[in-house]
Structure 1
Amino acid sequence: MIVKKLEDLVGTAASVDNGNWVSRRFLARKDGCGFSMHDTIIRAGTETYIHYANHLEAVYCVAGNGEIEDLESGIVHPIKDGTLYCLNGHERHKLRGGSEDMRMVCVFTPPLTGREVHDENGVYPLLTDD
C-alpha cells in the first residue's frame, strides 16, 4: 500500500514548477502501478502549448476554471470543477488558466518518472529509467 500526503511532496523533487503550472507527482513510474498520478495547479491567466506524443493523459478538474483548445479541430472546451478531459489521441492542445487557478488530478500512461518537463514542442520525453 502506498500512502502519500501533498504536504510531504511540496518543496521536493516530486514537485515540478514550470511557471505556468506546478505538478506534484504523487505516483511515478518507480511506484510500479502502471500509471502516474499528479496534483497539478494551472495558474490563472496562463497559456501552455502541450503535445503528449508519448503519453495518454486523463485530467479531472477539482477546482478553478479555464479552457482547453484542441488545435486539430479548433474546438475550445471550457473547464471547471467537475470537468474531465482525456487526451486519448495525443491531441496537440493549448491549456489556458482562467480567472482563478485550476486544480487538476492528472493520470498518465505510460507512467512518468517524475522528472519530465515539456520540451520546445510541448512534449514530455519518454523516460524509462527512474
Structure 2
Amino acid sequence: MHLRYVDARRYLVRGDDCGFSVQHEILKKGAPVRLEFRNHVYAVLITRGSGRVRLLDAHGHVGEGQDHAVTEGSLVALNAAEAVELEAETDELHAVSVLNPPLFGTEQRHAGSGVFPVVDSDGEELQSYDHSAVGRLFSAPESLKGGSAPMKDDPLF
C-alpha cells in the first residue's frame, strides 16, 4: 500500500494460513493517518521513531485524554470498531502490525473512512459482515484445527 504518508509491506497474508496477517508500516512525518479496523482486531508495535496515537470517538474527534505519545516499544491494540489517528513526529515511524481476520493481501483502505474491507474465501470484498460469514473469513490454522492436545491426531478423537 502506498498512500502519501504511508508505505506498507505485507509479510504474512491470509493465504499463508497462519490465522493472522503481519504488516510493516512506515509512516512519514507530515500528516496523521486515520486507521479504522471495523472488521478486524489490530495490534501494532512501534519499532522505530516516535509519534502520537489518538483514539477517535464515533464522530472522528479525538476524545479527552485520548492523545498519547508512542515510541520504540510502544504497543497499541484496537478492538473492531475503534478508530485512531497515528502520526509520525520523527521523519519516519516504523510499526509492525498483526490483524485478525488476516488481510487477503490486495485489499485497500477506504480513502474516506480508513476502513479495510475483509475478503471472503471467494475473493469478495465485504465492508462489513455478520456471524454467517465468519467461517469464510478466518479459521484456525491447519496445524491447530484438531486442537493442540497430544491426542489430537489419534484416530479415535
TM-score of Structure 1 vs Structure 2, range by shorter chain = 0.7 to 0.9
**Structure 1 unaligned blocks of 5 or more:** 1-15
- Matches of residues 17-32 of structure 1 in structure 2 within 5 Å? 17-32=2-17
The number of equivalent residue pairs is 115
Question: Highest CA radius of gyration, 1 or 2?
Answer: 2
Q: Classify the secondary structure of the residue corresponding to 1:30.
A: helix
Instruction: Give identity over the alignment, percent.
Output: 30
Cα distance, 1:89 vs structure 2: 4.6
Report the Cα distance in structure 2 between the residues aligned to 1:89 and 1:25, rounded to whole angstroms: 20
Quote the RMSD (CA, aligned, Å): 1.5
Scaled by the length of structure 1, the TM-score of the pair is 0.82
Q: Is 89-98 or 117-126 further displaced after alignment?
A: 89-98
Report the Cα distance in structure 1 between the residues aligned to 2:88 and 2:107, rounded to whole angstroms: 21
Q: Tell me the equivalent position of 1:82.
A: 73
Could you report, residue by residue, the CA deviation over 1:100-119 in whole angstroms, capped at 9, with x for unpaired residues?
21111100000001112211
After the TM superposition, which parts of structure 1 deviate over 4 Å for at least 4 consecutive aligned residues?
none
Report the Cα distance in structure 1 between the residues aligned to 2:77 and 2:49, rounded to whole angstroms: 18
Report the Cα distance in structure 2 between the residues aligned to 1:45 and 1:83, rounded to whole angstroms: 20
**Structure 2 unaligned blocks of 5 or more:** 58-62, 125-157
Does 1:121 find its partner at 2:106?
no
Could you report, residue by residue, the CA deviation over 1:85-104 in whole angstroms, capped at 9, with x for unpaired residues?
00125312111111221111
Q: Classify the secondary structure of the residue corresponding to 2:118.
A: coil
Cα pair 1:45 1:99 within 8 Å, conserved: no
Does 1:66 find its partner at 2:51?
yes
